A = this chain, B = another copy of it.
Amino acid sequence: MSTRAYIRDLQANQNLDGVFAIQNAQLGMTKNGKPFLKCLLADKTGRTPARMWSITEDHFATLPTDGFVWAAGSTQPYQGEMQIIVQDIRAHEPTDNELKDLLPCTENDIDQMFSEVLSLLQSLEHPAIKSLADRYLEDGDLMGKFCQAPAAMTMHHAYLGGLLEHTLSLMKGADALLPLYPQLNRDIVLMGLFLHDLGKCQELTWLQGFGYSQDGQLVGHIGRGAILLDAKAKACEDEELGEAALKVPDAILQVLTHIIFSHHGIPEYGALKVPATPEAIFISNLDNLDAKMNMSIAETRPTTPKPNANGLFTEKIWALDTKLFKPDPTTVPDGSA
């Protein structure tokens, strides 16, 4: 894909070929009764409509509705957008490198973030909680997804690596705030934060665009996270661990389960239980704070400024129930608005 420009940067009448995410591929019919392809082509910087004016039904059948393709064609301005007129297209399994260009991704280093999470877990003191952390860390498949998954479909941290970034931000935030609340058990807080969203590894899909899995729709990350925790806790007693085997005490397991079930705070926001221990209350509130900061900063003061984002206020952001005032107020001269 080295030779093509990002979608954000397309110019009129530009030739291009490369790998794209394809979305909502449909077969249309021209006024002359000829089939044509209509779809969106996307990469991590945006998406734009595309048309292929001559395509057979058989050719169309080889393309994914939502997935990845290699395509060649040229741009044509249409209603203010750069539409792509496709000459050639075929299904394509992207390499990991290509994937990075196709899906939005954290701006931070994934390996670096994961090693910070590891450090924080290594600072745990309670032996059973440490053992439980090890059961998760040794599950390579899960940890692979943990490093790759977004934290949400939309809203906050909705990019590859978002789950890891959000989890690390919470663990670091907790470490900074805990000295103010010495009555809290640090092991429970840090382990609870590490676990609280891990069910998203099964709830979300991201390899063909962000979506909910069947398990996500029927069980969800909160239910799946709790079921997973039960299995990992049982694994701490496995004979295979030899002398290292030890039981996670009931109250610890119940409170960690409770943290997963309660971290959304209230039933209307998806909690099965209202937070009922100081550690659960702390986690639920800190989670909410970090999600809202990620959302509001991304909308008002993003690393890469949004094109065409004029005005001092954003559009209404439904999750925050308001328009946001964008500038740092100390930079706004009197009379500017």
Contact = CB atoms under 8 A, between A and B. Distances in A.
Interface in A231-288: 231, 247, 249-252, 254-255, 257-258, 261, 266-268, 270, 272-279, 281-282, 285-286, 288
Most chain B C-beta atoms within 10 Å of own C-beta, residue among A77, A249, A272, A336: A272
B80 A29 contact: yes
Interface centre among A26, A277, A333, A335 (most CB of B within 10 A): A277
B181 A297 contact: yes
B169 A180 contact: yes
Nearest to A78: B31
A337 B214 contact: yes
A309 interface: no
B329 A185 contact: yes
Contacts of A252: 329-330
Contacts of A258: 218-219, 325
Nearest to A302: B183
A76 B32 CA distance: 8
A334 interface: yes
A49 to B, nearest CB: 13
A5 interface: no
B325 A296 contact: no
A220 interface: yes
A293 interface: yes
Contacts of A96: none
Interface string A66-89: 000000000011111000000000
Contacts of A8: none
Given A176-B176, A277-B324, A254 B218 contact: yes
Interface stretch (A56-64, A105-113, A133-141, A315-323): A315-323
Contacts of A76: 31
Contacts of A325: 214, 217-218, 255, 258, 276-277
A217 to B, nearest CB: 6
A34 to B, nearest CB: 9
A177 B172 CA distance: 9
A13 interface: yes
A179 B106 CA distance: 18
29 contacts: A12-B29, A26-B80, A27-B80, A28-B79, A28-B80, A33-B77, A129-B330, A169-B180, A173-B177, A176-B176, A177-B177, A181-B293, A185-B330, A213-B337, A214-B251, A214-B254, A214-B312, A215-B254, A217-B323, A218-B325, A219-B257, A249-B333, A250-B332, A275-B322, A277-B325, A278-B293, A278-B296, A279-B329, A282-B293
Given A183-B300, A219-B254, A277-B296, 7 more contacts: A29-B77, A31-B77, A173-B177, A217-B325, A251-B327, A274-B320, A281-B296
